[in-house]
Amino acid sequence: MFSFFTSFIPTSYFLPGWLTLDTNPVDCLLQGLVGACGISVLCSLIRVHLFLEESANDKNDKDTSTQRTSHQRRTGSGLTGMLHFIFVTGMLAVVGSRVASLVVLEFCLRAISGWATAGPESSKCLQQLLVQSQFSLGCALSCSLYFLHEEASQRWLCLLLAAALSWFLAKQATLLQHHVTSLYKLHSSQRYCGICICLLTSGRSVLPGLCRAMIITFSVAVVAAISIINKHFLSATDALRFWTPLTICYTLLVVYMQEEQHRQPSSQAVVNTVVVRLGGLMVLMLTVGRWADVLHILMCFLGEASCLFPTMDLLDAASSQEEVDHMDYIKRERRRRPVAQEKEHQT
């Protein structure tokens, strides 16, 4: 049925080969829809976690919490949110599986480097990584679906079921966010809402559970990404010529940008990091890639921007909270030093 309609879409007979999509346009659209739904679920759960954290730490500051609640409502719903969702879906549908795989591998390398350089005292590094992983998560879901359903006889039906389930989960996560931001304080104080009571007792498990889900998702995506990229090489020599500069250059680049981000923990530093990362990937694709890869990286610029700019408040909240944690750590260290000195004098 779909082949009849897609037969009217211009193919390489009218367009150059590097302008055509990897697979059926309907399959690409469904993969992009799943990726956009995953991004929506991620943002909704991060906002729920932030609201629970703010409610627990700032119960006396009612004016500040009211302003944040209204801001979350404004950014999470309405016509603007629907247009943003459609735009992200289109970007993920257009980006090819090869570049999506490179984005996934780059983010995994960046996440490991960031967690290693941040240290155990910077717990909010996880929250920053989650906010920065939005477009990478969409690419991870897209290339994983491409890899898992590559040889399926009814691929469009499998992707349609995955898209329907993803849409349902995204809708439920959005409803949970609106419920929590609107009624959590009232319901948690009077204790007659099962959802709010559950979040009141086990709300601290939202972020760890989200981190575990992301680890599983990106673990599957890494296997899919390596398999997808290696299929484009005819010999091991070509694969080695591609992987060697990619690994060396991106390891050095990620370590350098991670240090810069620790020096300037702000949303502007995150945007600069995105530009440098994708710029480095574009330069690499100009040397060992194809014209289709360069075009898809340009699409990644738009995709990253469409995911980061609407969530600048989350990045600022994570950066401010990280500064507070750092100051608390310094205060604890100052308190420990006199006690340690007294013990040394006693001994």
Q: What is the pLDDT of residues 160-171, one digit of tens each?
A: 999 999 999 999
Choice between 191 and 141, residue whose per-residue pLDDT is larger: 141
CA dist., res. 209 & res. 215, Å (int): 10
∠ CA(302), CA(303), CA(308), 5° rounding? 100
- How do residues 123-160 score in pLDDT, each as one tens digit? 567 888 888 889 999 999 999 999 988 877 788 888 99
Tell me the helix, strand and coil percentages in the chain, rounded to 5: 85, 0, 15
Please provide residue 237's backbone torsions phi and psi, each rounded to the nearest 5 degrees.
Answer: -65, -45
pLDDT one-digit tens code per residue, 1-46: 444 444 444 444 444 444 455 567 888 899 999 999 999 999 999 9
| 250, 106 contact by CB (below 8 A) | yes
Per-residue confidence band for 112, with pLDDT thresholds at 50, 70 and 90: confident
- The answer, yes or no, to whether residue 172 has pLDDT greater than 60, is yes
Q: How far apart are CA 141 and CA 56, in angstroms?
A: 33
Tell me, what's the pLDDT at 13?
42
Give residue 202's Cα distance to chain centre: 24
233-241: long-range contacts, CB 8 A cutoff, minimum separation 24: 241/288
Sign of CA pseudo-dihedral 56, 58, 59, 64: negative
Backbone angles phi, psi at 142, to 5 degrees: -65, -50
What pLDDT shows up at residue 68? 46
Concatenate the DSSP letters of all residues of 283-298 into one string: HHHHHHS-HHHHHHHH
Q: Domain locations in the chain?
A: 22-346
13: helix, strand or coil = coil
Residue pair 199/52 in contact by the 8 Å Cβ criterion: yes
Q: What integer pLDDT is reported at residue 59 of this predicted model?
A: 59
pLDDT in tens, 271-297: 777 777 777 777 777 776 677 778 888
